[in-house]
Chain A
Amino acid sequence: MIQDADFITRLKQGDPDAFRKLVDQHQIPLVRLCKGFLHNEEDARDVVQDTFIEVFESIRRFREDARLSTWLYRIAVNKSLNRIRKNRISGWLVQLDLFTPSEQEDGLSVDSALQVAEETPDSGGKTRIIRKAVDTLPESQRIAFVLHKYLDLSYKEISTVMEVSLPAVESLLFRARQSLQKKLYNVYKKNVL
């Protein structure tokens, strides 16, 4: 991916061709990243669109001491997490309305997903369990896991995006893997998977 001073200068000047190139180059990685959090293609594309709009509006504030992609990933992660919080609140509000049963999957715990999977032990149930296992990770572990598994970032790149040390990333990923392994093993023990 191109990151040179001239390209960034053109972006800061509002050059539409430069911006189009930026969108084309980073579109797919960003959608993958957002899908890691949102598990929904449409929501992921919405968030990616918002990310690029924010980048366009604040490119002049971009400090060239970091990579452009790092900055893009940070914005996309924050926007994805904000969308999750917003969806969660909407889900609670829908559930408060007793006459409108919620059809949203968000808000299901791993145990609830397990119950559903026992009732529907097909690939849809398995998918739900795996997603919920990832979604119920603590936030920093989840971010590190998604950056590693969905974006294929190295530990060093993850430490740059998350602004933490390399040992911290190693620790986060280790704990995320252990947590996922334990959750899936609990489900496996109940013979659902």
Chain B
Amino acid sequence: MKCKDVRTNLPEYLEGGTAPGMKSVAEHLAECESCKAFSVVLEEALHHIELEKQTEFDPYLFTRIQAGIENRRNQNRFGYARQMARPLAYAMVFIFLLVAGIGLGRMFSNQQALATDYKTEIFYLQDEQSYLQDLVSE
């Protein structure tokens, strides 16, 4: 069996696989130092997983779960109001900006109209002045 084929079958071999090719894997590992060394690496990886699996029973987990459930219940009580609060706030800000914009727009257009009125008045005054000057010269 070639080293590459051994490596392909190595994970199953290390997990206690019983497929027909496993005997050939064992025979190859007995002869090939490189594959043997790599099998040690893979075994270490599997061992690491076994170590990581170790965990202890937590006697306080149920208490914490109950506290978590109670917290969620309290949050849900104001849930509807909280759900509506944000869109309402956005709507009010939008309305405020709209009204402010309209107000500013009117103020600006009033100022322009006022300026236009002043210009018109000045124009008529100038016109009247030239008329009077013409009268005087006559």
Contacts and interface: CB of A to CB of B under 8 A. Distances in A.
A53 B48 CA distance: 31
Nearest to B52: A35
A180 B45 contact: yes
Given A31-B55, A127-B48, A184-B42, A57 B72 contact: yes
A78 to B, nearest CB: 18
Interface residues on B, range: 20 to 34
A32 B53 contact: yes
Contacts of A79: none
A188 B61 contact: no
* Most central of B55, B58, B72 by chain A CB within 10 Å: B55
A49 B64 contact: yes
A142 B8 CA distance: 18
B61 A150 contact: no
Interface residues on A, range: 35 or more
B57 A28 contact: yes
Contacts of B68: 49-50, 53
Contact of B69 (A36, A48, A53, A180): A53
B5 to A, nearest CB: 12
B52 to A, nearest CB: 6
Contacts of B53: 32, 35-36, 150
B12 A130 contact: no
A39 B48 CA distance: 11
A193 interface: yes
B45 A130 contact: yes
A135 to B, nearest CB: 12
B118 interface: no
Contact of A188 (B38, B58, B69): B38
A112 B64 CA distance: 38
Contacts of A53: 65, 68-69, 72
Nearest to A45: B58
A122 interface: no
A23 B61 contact: yes
A28 B56 CA distance: 7
A130 B49 CA distance: 9
Interface string B23-60: 00000000000000110011011101100110101100
Interface in B1-21: 7-8, 10-12
Nearest to B38: A188
Q: Would you list the 5 A-B pairs with minimal beta carbon distance, nearest first?
A: A177-B11, A31-B55, A130-B45, A53-B68, A23-B62
